Amino acid sequence: MKIVNHLLRKAGDCKPGDRVCFDAPSAMYLIEAVEETHMGMVRHQHPGGSSTYWADDLLWVEVPNG
């Protein structure tokens, strides 16, 4: 994956509208909602379901018009 036009962001700092990117294009997703679980983890709701992370986990997020 090219990291141009992307930045590392903590999962807990992501917000709806952010596009989370991975090496596999099929794994990328657009966050629709963010919630905190009862265990203190962060859940990103997206069209394919949801993904859960610890708040300090780092994710590549696409920078719009970057």
Phi, psi (5° rounding) for residue 39?
A: -90, 0
**Gap between the Cα atoms of 66 and 57, Å rounded:** 23
Q: Give tens-digit pLDDT for 3-60.
A: 678 999 999 999 999 999 998 888 999 999 999 999 999 999 999 999 999 999 999 9
**pLDDT the model gives residue 66:** 53
Which comes out higher in pLDDT, residue 2 or 48? 48
CATH number at residue 43: 2.30.30.30
Phi, psi (5° rounding) for residue 42?
A: -110, 130
**pLDDT the model gives residue 19:** 96
| Domain extent at residue 54 | 6-62
Within a domain: 1:
no
Number of domains in the chain: 1
Residue 2 has pLDDT above 70, yes or no: no
Within a domain: 10:
yes
Question: In the structure encoding, which two tokens stand for residue 31, read together?
Answer: 């966050």
